[in-house]
Amino acid sequence: MPSATAERKSGRLVAKVTAEDKALMERAALLEGCSLERFVVAHSRAAAQKVVRDRKSIRLDARESRRFVQALLAPPRPPTRRFKQALALYRETVIEH
């Protein structure tokens, strides 16, 4: 994957922030020795990568893992009255093509 700096930047991101937030980000950028744009892009990219990485997989301890497997292997429960009503409404209102 090419680095972010080697890629041609064609996307645009605009955000409205409070004066206080802008001043804080400008100060942080100054402390890191970079422009506000570079600071915001780098830190938001790092935060986005962390969110994606954290949501990519589910970590279960031994007890949670056993419960999950038991739920997968258990026979299905009979549908509830509310489920049957929702299914009937779906079939009435959704048109299949």
Return the structure tokens found at 13.
């991101």
Domain-by-domain residue ranges, the chain?
19-57+65-93
Q: CA 88 to CA 72: how far, in whole Å? A: 26
Say how far apart CA 41 and CA 48 lie, in whole Å: 10
Supply the DSSP symbol for 5.
T
The 8-class DSSP code of residue 4 comes to T
Q: Could you read off the pLDDT tens digit of each residue along the chain, which spans 97 residues? A: 445 556 788 888 899 999 999 999 999 999 999 999 999 999 999 999 999 999 999 899 999 999 999 999 999 999 999 999 999 999 999 977 5
DSSP string covering 37-78 = HHHHHHHHHHHHHHHHHHHHS----HHHHHHHHHHHHSPPPP
